Structure 1
Amino acid sequence: MTYEQLRVTRTSPALWRVAFDAPPLNLIGPRMVIELRELLDELESDPLVSVVIFESAIEDYFLAHWDITADPELVSSLPAGPTGYHPWLDILIRLSKVPAITISAIRGRARGAGSEFVLATDIRFASRENAVLGQFEVGTGAVPGGGTPSRLPRLIGRGRALEILVSAGDYDGELAERYGYVNRTLPDAELGEFVTAFAERVSTFDLRAVQEVKAFVNAASLAPDEEFPPQMDAFWASASRPESQARAGQLFARGLQQASETELNLGDALGQLDVPEQPPRVR
């Protein structure tokens, strides 16, 4: 397969680098889903790869979020992956369990599905000045569908997970580190060198030992797969509500999914929307 939105570099048999390259924002759409599935097929079948670095070739964006304008049928109609779940869930579950150690080197924005992706990787290092993470779905009236309500509390605790999810705000690198959303932050100029040195070090260690350690940690810390499909169902149901569509329409009018101030400062933009009439409370 020829990758169009991923730059895959095999630095050595044990160390791979994958750069997201879908300008201008690194939106996650059908093409990226197809390519990530193919990449996972390669990673799962390669007997030598030990470490994979995920990074971005696009300034200001690691993975912006899901491409809201894409026809959802283009993804949901794809052949079922090994898990049998929705293709995006399939990618995230497989990513968390692939034998290699996966590292997100976060420079730029990783919101929504972009945040879901980095949470499914094993280790997250971020630029202190230029990383922004968040789950903005609730601000549009939707429920995060890619597993964050399961992954985030296990990572940072219930209270902070709820803060991030219901605030729909932007969390910069420094605060993300303090909360445990990322492992650590580094000055932007030092991030690449640090991540490379860390990955190269791990890649020289015994492959079987690395894989066995990850398997034990997974057994102790990963959410059961069956927790995820109800969240995806809730996302599609909530995103299709008229009030959610109205909020999304306001965001698109302000420049959502364009190289714009709205995308750069999405947390602020959500707080400036006209609030539609609230539906009756469910009792």
Structure 2
Amino acid sequence: MDSPTRFSLTEHSAAWWRVTFDNPPVNLVDATMTSELNALFARAEASESLAVVVFDSADPDFYLAHYDLSDSDEVEHALAHPEEVHPWTALLARLSSLPVATVSSIRGRARGAGSEFLLATDIRFASRERAVVGQFEIGMAAIPGGGPASRLPGLVGRGRTFEILFGGLDYDGALAEMYGYVNRALPDDDLDGFVDAFASRVASFDLQTIRDIKHFVNLATQRSEAEYQDQMNAFWAAVNRPAQQHIARHLFEAGLQQRSDVERDLPHWVTRFPYRPGSDEE
């Protein structure tokens, strides 16, 4: 595995790794991050000693902001080849199936693909004061592509899934804990110590037992991979529609994907540029 550019890897021991996202300015998910995570996952799958991987962020304001929406070549390819499983869809399925315990330690904003990533991990711990999670895509006239429509119901229930996906709002650590979006929210000063102690404890246990637990829980909870691909295809189809393109254009002009008020309060900004068919701006 070459040295990654979108995150750092700390091997606390042979049994416990920490992945720290670091992709300025706002920790966007992109094709490079997906490729580098795939290489990391290959190492994890091949390891005979790894028990637990913790994912956190070097940026206290952004865990993973969302997917990079600026790559027009990726959009064109996805639309031309709907039969292909998108790399992000495949990565999230691989993440859920890793034969180790995976833990998200959430400080900062995790929206869109950031939320999708943490939903694909086994366990989610959040800063009560600084974590922000949500799926904003409806405000951009799109369905979330990375599978929250399949993963959220088992965590928060049907009604709250609709609230999250229809509302496109942010959820702070305390509310996310109450809903089941995260396992628990802790005071920000306590988050790192708690996660470290939990990961160290898991790393001390028998590796085969960890793998067996993961295997049988996955049998009871994993959804069909076809569901995830259908959702990603629906997302790319939305990206090709005038409504999404109209909203995206205005958001980029206002500061999307920069360290800006747009990214700090995205659920508010996605409502500022309604699409009106037949207008001069269409």
TM-score range, shorter chain: over 0.9
What's the counterpart of residue 268 of structure 1? 268
> Secondary structure of 1:91's partner?
helix
Letter of the structure 1 residue corresponding to residue 275 of structure 2: P
In structure 2, the partner of 1:225 is: 225
CA change 1:275–1:212 in 2 (3 A) is same
Q: 1: distance between equivalents of 2:58 and 2:16? A: 18
Give how far 1:268 is off: 1.7
Per the normalisation by structure 1, the TM-score is: 0.93
Q: Name the structure 2 match of 1:80.
A: none
TM-superposed deviation, 1:75: 11
Tell me by how many angstroms 1:277 deviates.
2.2
The answer to whether the aligner puts 1:277 opposite 2:267 as a matched pair is no
Measured in 2, the distance between the counterparts of 1:24 and 1:249 equals 19
Q: Which amino acid aligns with 1:214?
A: K
2:117: which partner in 1? 117
Residue ranges of structure 2 left out of the alignment (5+ in a row)? 79-83
- 1:208-250, Cα deviation, whole Å (9 max, x unpaired): 1111011111111111212111111100001111111111112
Matched to 2:10, the amino acid is T
> Which structure 1 segments of 5+ residues have no match?
78-83
Structure 1 counterpart of 2:175: 175
After superposition, residues 1-283 of structure 1 pair within 5 angstroms as 1-73=2-74, 85-271=85-271, 273-277=272-276
The 8 Å contact of residues 76 and 87 in structure 1, kept in 2 or not, is answered as: no
C-alpha distance in 2 between matches for 1:112 and 1:73: 17
Aligned mates of 2:180, 2:32 — CA distance in 1: 31
d(CA) in 2 for partners of 1:141, 1:278? 13
Q: Could you tell me how far apart the structure 2 residues matched to 1:75 and 1:172 are?
A: 35
Aligned-residue offset at 1:270: 2.0
Tell me the distance in 2 between the aligned counterparts of 1:74 and 1:103.
Answer: 30
Equivalences, count: 272
Residue of structure 1 equivalent to 2:81: none
CA contact (8 A) 2:75 2:236 kept: no
Does structure 1 retain, via aligned residues, the 8 Å contact 2:111–2:136?
A: yes
Kindly, what percent of the aligned residue pairs are identical?
Answer: 50
Q: In the superposition, relative to structure 1, how do residues 76 and 17 fare at CA in structure 2: closer, same or farther (>3 Å)? A: farther
The one-letter amino acid paired with 2:7 is L
